[in-house]
Amino acid sequence: MPKKSVSLNDLVRLDQQLQRDRETPLRQLQERDRAVGAPLRSEPKSRKLLAWLDNTAIRGRLPQLHNVEFSLGFWLGLAGLLIGLTAMSGLLLVDQQQPVNVLLFLTVFVGTQWLLLVLTLVVAFAVAMGGQLHLPLENLNPARWLFHRTFDRLAGNIRWEQFTPVVRLALLSWGQLFGVFFNIGLLAAMLIILSVVDRSFGWSSTMNISVEGLEAALRWLSIPWATWLPVANIDAQLVAATRYQSLQAQFGSAQVEAMRAWWPFLFACIAFYGLLPRAIMWLLLHYLYRRRLVRAFLHFPGVGMVLERMNSPLVYTQADGRETADRIELDKVALSALPANDKHFAINWAGALEGGAPDLLGQLNLSRASIASAGLNLIDDQKLLETINSQSAKQVGHDVIVLVKSWEPPLGELGDFLGGISSDTDCYLLLLPLKNCAIKPEEYADWQQFIRQQGHPRLALVSGSGGAAAEKTP
């Protein structure tokens, strides 16, 4: 049963497998992929591909990548938690003589996070839209370092350019996960420290900030929880009472008491402006990342071909194995000149004269009427053979010229006929060219091969084509 969801690990495996497949013969790939794809006909594409990967991707270091996304999430979460704990502890515990400046607290833990959040949104939007916006701040993403370190070590030769948008969204998503745990760390540290240490909060600024102005701003900040979490609301009295000067050493007991009342507001600020947006952002980016991941998985270069091979029936029209020539190449016999003897026994084999050039007949002192026909009827051929052989026995001195069609291949029938001629008789196969054509080299080769295969000791090949003079033996 193929697994259901795609992971970044699958994308890496896919890339590596496709790179390996480049050197594999296509026929082999077709057989392999169809075997995997045939039983999965009704499965969606991504599950088919996952099953294909499980069946084809080689084992080795790749299984170590299996939980890499989980591991990265875990380590980033842990790092965020620890850094959050440390940061809040640092702020709350560094100078216990002075109250914690609320303005500094909000700037560091809310303002900075919001700035990063907005930048993340801009980049995420650009990446999701297929843009290429790169901000230097991205390099500060701890997920980036951890990711490259892990994947480069485990996966080696990855074509990163093929899944840059996916990786960027993954990094942004992991960055938010880091942020979620960072905020959890902040809140946890705040709760722990404030439950054991008596810390007070106040506000002080070198800027000209009025109590009313700050109170209005803080009230605006507390809108999300104002109605259902009154304990975390701030009033003008508290704002006025907790203002202090940076070098102020003494605080009245009423002022100290008032200063303790800030923490629910600050806690709510981190929860609502740190943790909550980060969590939402993480979910959003995770969704975008997953969507992009599946898209990248299905549109990875080469995947279309894999799916095609999985879905298409394996069609073979070829024979099994390669055919090779099993003909034995014999030495070619040389072409002979026309016989000098003027006593010929001429045979028109299979109507060769009908299609061939009759000019040669004059050269051979032959008239059409003196030429016997053969190669049409076996009984006639037999009678002709008997006549030839009886002439030979009488030592009349006739040679035999068989006029053959150069354009037709020599057949066994002719071989049988020639085999029936007495071995004492000079025998010539005269190749007649097709009307208006020269005899082709492959036709010569065919007949030369044929002559060599015959057992007749006095059999020669003569060309009836002027064009072949150069090939004739003097």
Partner 1 sequence: MSQTPANNPPAKKSANAIPRFAVVGHPNKGKSSIVATLAQDDSVYIDRVSGSTRTARHYPMRVDGETLYELIDTPGFQRARGALAWLTQHCQVVSQRPATVRKFCEQHKDGNDFFNECELLQPLVEGAAIIYVVDGSHPYGPEYEAEMEVLRWTGQPSLALINPIDSNDYIDEWEVALGQYFKTVRVFNAHTAPFEKRVNLLTLFGQLHPQWQTLLETAVAILQAERSRQHRQASETIADMLVDVLQHKEIQRLPSGVPSKPTEMALTKQYRRYLQQQEKHCRKRVEEIYAYFQLEREEHALEILDKDLFDQQSWYLFGLNKRQLISVGAAAGASAGAMLDLGLGGSSLLLGSMAGGLAGGIGAWTFSDKIAQLSIKGLPTGGLSLQYGPWEHPNFPFVLLGRALQHLRLICTRSHANRNTLSLDKQMEENPFEHVTAAQRAKLMAAFKDIRKGKQLAKHRLLLRDSIHQQIAAL
Structure-block tokens of residue 6: 């795609």
Which C-beta is closer to partner 1: that of 95 or that of 161?
161
Q: Give min distance, CB of 20 to partner 1, in A.
A: 14
Q: Give min distance, CB of 165 to partner 1, in A.
A: 9
Which C-beta is closer to partner 1: that of 22 or that of 59?
22
Q: Is the dihedral of CA 181, 187, 191, 192 positive or negative?
A: positive
Which C-beta is closer to partner 1: that of 25 or that of 362?
25
CA distances from 446 to 23, 374, 410, 441 (A): 41, 21, 7, 9
Structure-block tokens of residue 241: 């009472």
Strand order in the sheet with 459-463: 335-336, 459-463, 427-432, 399-405, 344-349, 372-374
Which C-beta is closer to partner 1: that of 224 or that of 355?
355
| Nearest partner of 417 among 449, 461, 371, 373, judged by Cα | 373
Which C-beta is closer to partner 1: that of 268 or that of 384?
384
| Nearest partner of 333 among 462, 469, 420, 465, judged by Cα | 462
Structure-block tokens of residue 384: 């002709």
Structure-block tokens of residue 406: 């150069």
Which residues make up the interface to partner 1 (CB under 8 A)? 22, 25-27, 34, 38, 41, 130, 132, 161-162, 164, 295-296, 299, 301-302, 304-305, 307-308, 311-319, 321-327, 350-351, 354-355, 375-378, 405, 407-413, 416, 434, 440, 442, 445-446, 449
CA distances from 357 to 9, 302, 350 (A): 78, 62, 15
Cβ atoms 146, 76 nearer than 8 A: yes
Cβ atoms 232, 187 nearer than 8 A: no
Q: Give min distance, CB of 33 to partner 1, in A.
A: 12
Q: Give min distance, CB of 327 to partner 1, in A.
A: 6
Q: Give min distance, CB of 219 to partner 1, in A.
A: 42
Q: Give min distance, CB of 147 to partner 1, in A.
A: 19
Which C-beta is closer to partner 1: that of 122 or that of 240?
122
Which C-beta is closer to partner 1: that of 235 or that of 380?
380
Q: Give min distance, CB of 463 to partner 1, in A.
A: 17
